[in-house]
Amino acid sequence: MSYLLHIDSSALPTGSVSREVAETFRDAWQQAHPTGHVVHRDLATDPSPHLTTAAVTARFTAPADRTPEQAEAIELQDELVEEFLGAGVYLFTVPMYNMSIPSSFKAWLDHIMVPGRTLGLSPHALATAGRPAVVISSRGGAYGPGTPRDGWDHAIPYLTTVLGSALALDVQFVISELTMAHRNPAMADLRPAAAASRTRAHQEAKQHAQKIATHLLA
């Protein structure tokens, strides 16, 4: 049965803007697709381990020849890959941490990006090709053109390449900026812009959920 797979990598259980915006997506999704099933993997409470020697070598070792460590590692990998492949829609909650993505999300990606299963020479031949995916991202500052930190954003370019090019998903991004403005007195002048960005993110998340659900049910 196809489902919405929600991978959440925010380290904050509460007070996370990316989690709040993702919740708006989930609420709109359930309203538009009330019979739709959701699988939620929270990498803050159930993190995927970083790749080990056993996890890598197990991929190239015959099952009968695997060590106990390799067998355990490949069992987890198989679980994550099958969960990923079984989804029809994806919601990724990926805030920017130190100019890039959380290491927990990178660890999850390292387990599910497996040549011959989720990766191939032709993106169009992949099982996930064209499946809709929405990435909810937040960042404490602003990194767009014309800002002092233009070019410092290494999260969205990376996710565009990995999710869009390598995994061939149809990716849309919802970004909330300046989330530190309400906590940092030095950013007080930016609070109206921060509030506007958050409001816009919630609106876009809702619209994406409704559009994808409507398309699937058509």
* Fold (CATH) for 4-217: Rossmann fold (3.40.50)
- Phi (first) and psi of residue 5, to 5 degrees: -100, 120
Per-residue pLDDT of the chain (218 residues; tens, 9 = 90+): 589 999 999 999 888 999 999 999 999 999 999 988 999 999 999 999 999 999 999 999 999 999 999 999 999 999 999 999 999 999 999 999 999 999 999 999 999 999 989 998 677 788 899 999 999 999 999 998 999 999 999 999 999 999 999 999 999 999 999 999 999 999 999 999 999 999 999 999 999 999 999 988 76
What's the pTM value of the predicted model, to 2 decimals?
0.94
Give helix 17-32 / helix 191-217 axis angle, nearest 10°: 30
Determine how many CB atoms are found less than 10 A away from the CB of residue 146: 6
Please tell me the predicted confidence (pLDDT) of residue 1: 53
Q: Which residue has the tokens 């109206």?
A: 192
User: Hey, where are the domains in the chain?
Assistant: 4-217
Please tell me the predicted confidence (pLDDT) of residue 120: 81
Of 30, 13, 165, residue with least CA distance to 91: 30
Please tell me the predicted confidence (pLDDT) of residue 125: 80
Please tell me the predicted confidence (pLDDT) of residue 131: 96
Please tell me the predicted confidence (pLDDT) of residue 217: 78
